[in-house]
Amino acid sequence: MNQEQRIKTYQFLLRQTKHIRLCSLFLILCSLLTACEPDTACHQELGTAVQITLSADSITSAGDTAYYAQWDSITVVGIGSDIGMQDKGIKVMGLELRPDTNLTAYLMLYHNQIDTLYIQHTPRQQFISMACGCAVYHTITAAWSSDPRVDSVSIVNASVESVAQDNLCIYLHE
pLDDT tens-digit series, residues 25-76:
666 766 665 555 555 677 777 778 899 888 876 555 565 555 556 777 888 8
Q: Are the CB atoms for 75 and 83 separated by under 8 Å? A: no
Which DSSP letter does residue 70 get? S
Longest dimension (CA), the chain: 118
Phi, psi of 13 (to 5 degrees): -65, -40
Task: Enumerate the domain spans of the chain.
Answer: 1-38, 50-173
Q: Are the CB atoms for 25 and 32 separated by under 8 Å? A: no
For the ranges 15-19, 106-110, 117-121, 166-170, the one whose mean pLDDT is highest = 117-121
Q: What is the pLDDT of residue 139?
A: 95
Q: Are the CB atoms for 156 and 166 separated by under 8 Å? A: yes
Q: Round to whole Å and give the CA distance between 136 and 160.
A: 9
Q: Round to whole Å and give the CA distance between 73 and 54.
A: 12
